[in-house]
Amino acid sequence: MLVNDGVWEFETDRLSVGPWHAVADRLDIDLARVVAEMLTVRTTVALPESWRGDHSVETAWGWIADRDADSSMLLVAESTSHHPVGLLVLAEVPLSSSGVDLRIGYLFAESGWGQGLASELVSGLIEWARAQPAIRTLTGGADPANRASVRVLEKCGFSLIDDPDPGVVVYQFELSDSRSGAQDN
Ligand SMILES: CC(C)(COP(=O)(O)OP(=O)(O)OC[C@H]1O[C@@H](n2cnc3c(N)ncnc32)[C@H](O)[C@@H]1OP(=O)(O)O)[C@@H](O)C(=O)NCCC(=O)NCCS
């Protein structure tokens, strides 16, 4: 199943979000350079092994190909300057009942931390998802030591649902109860 025919695109007050290759082409940005600059030891220390930096522009292309094979990757740009500031990773997991759970992950360049951008991004994603009848839940996992990431999920209304091992806490946002105006099908 492809949510919204695989078209992932939304805006928030400060951010413009869309498929990374399309956005990079539109803004004439070298995606490998963006990845090499964003994925540093510091920004990836709390992330799964496959995300750990540092990357050069050359190794970034291989990483981009790997991500294209396993997820939907969105580039987050600052709306007015068009400057790339973050990445949003999404994966659709079909539910046994019907619809999908949307697994989410995000990373911002260190220069953008502490300005409320991640909270704004996740809130914007929730608003976008409300208009997608197939999406039932959004789920995000984090290292419990990654307080900023846990805080982003809590601020955006996610609830703790699972604590599978000491290195991960899993948070979920239920759309069904909070959706207004969207039709289920
Ligand atoms: C996690 C990350 C996305 C947060 O981005 P951000 O734009 O700085 O987040 P925001 O500014 O929206 O909000 C962060 C919240 O966490 C809080 N926070 C930040 N660092 C914190 C810390 N060490 N302990 C507790 N809270 C912290 C902030 O105060 C803020 O909460 P508040 O608004 O109640 O004050 C960013 O640090 C990042 O990209 N980290 C590397 C990648 C990563 O860890 N991604 C998450 C994978 S699960």
Pocket of ligand 1, candidates 37, 39, 106: which has the most ligand atoms within 8 Å of its Cβ, to mutate? 106
* Predicted local distance difference test score (pLDDT) of residue 179: 65
- How far is it, in rounded angstroms, from Cα 181 to Cα 170? 28
Q: Is the CB of residue 161 less than 8 Å from the CB of residue 140? A: no
- How far is it, in rounded angstroms, from Cα 39 to Cα 108? 9
Q: pTM for the whole thing? A: 0.94
| Architecture, CATH, for domain 3-174 | 3-Layer(aba) Sandwich (3.40)
Residue of the CA atom closest to atom 1 of ligand 1: 149
* Two tokens, residue 140: 């995000």
How many beta carbons lie within 10 A of that of residue 60, not counting itself?
A: 22
* Two tokens, residue 123: 């809130």
Flag whether pLDDT at 185 surpasses 80. Answer: no
Instruction: Measure CA of the first residue to CA of the last residue in the chain; give whole Å.
Output: 13
Q: Is 5 left (phi over 0), alpha (psi -120 to 50) or beta?
A: left
For residue 167, what pLDDT band results from cuts at 50, 70 and 90?
Answer: confident
- HEC assignment per residue over 93-107: EECCCCCEEEEEEEE
The DSSP secondary-structure symbol of 140 reads E
* Predicted local distance difference test score (pLDDT) of residue 93: 95
Residue extents of the structural domains in the chain: 3-174
Pocket of ligand 1, candidates 42, 143, 152: which has the most ligand atoms within 8 Å of its Cβ, to mutate? 152
Bridge partners of residue 105, in order along the sequence? 89
Residue of the CA atom closest to atom 27 of ligand 1: 148
Pocket of ligand 1, candidates 13, 43, 87, 149: which has the most ligand atoms within 8 Å of its Cβ, to mutate? 149
User: What backbone torsions phi and psi does residue 88 show, to the nearest 5 degrees?
Assistant: -125, 125
Higher-pLDDT residue of 136, 183: 136
In angstroms, what is the span from residue 108 Cα to ligand 1's centroid? 9
pLDDT, tens only, 54-110: 889 999 999 999 999 999 999 999 999 999 999 999 999 999 988 999 999 999 999
In angstroms, what is the span from residue 58 Cα to ligand 1's centroid? 29
- Angle separating helix axes 117-130 and 147-155, nearest 10 degrees: 40
Flag whether pLDDT at 180 surpasses 70. Answer: no
Residue of the CA atom closest to atom 20 of ligand 1: 148
- Residue 64's contacts (CB-CB under 8 Å, 6 or more residues apart) are 20, 31, 32, 35, 73
Closest CA to 75 of 66, 60, 86, 67: 86
pLDDT, tens only, 110-161: 999 999 999 999 999 999 999 999 999 999 999 999 999 999 999 999 999 9
Instruction: Give the residues surrounding ligand 1 with Cβ less than 6 Å away.
Output: 43, 46-47, 105-108, 113-119, 142, 146-149, 151-152, 155
For residue 182, what pLDDT band results from cuts at 50, 70 and 90?
Answer: very low
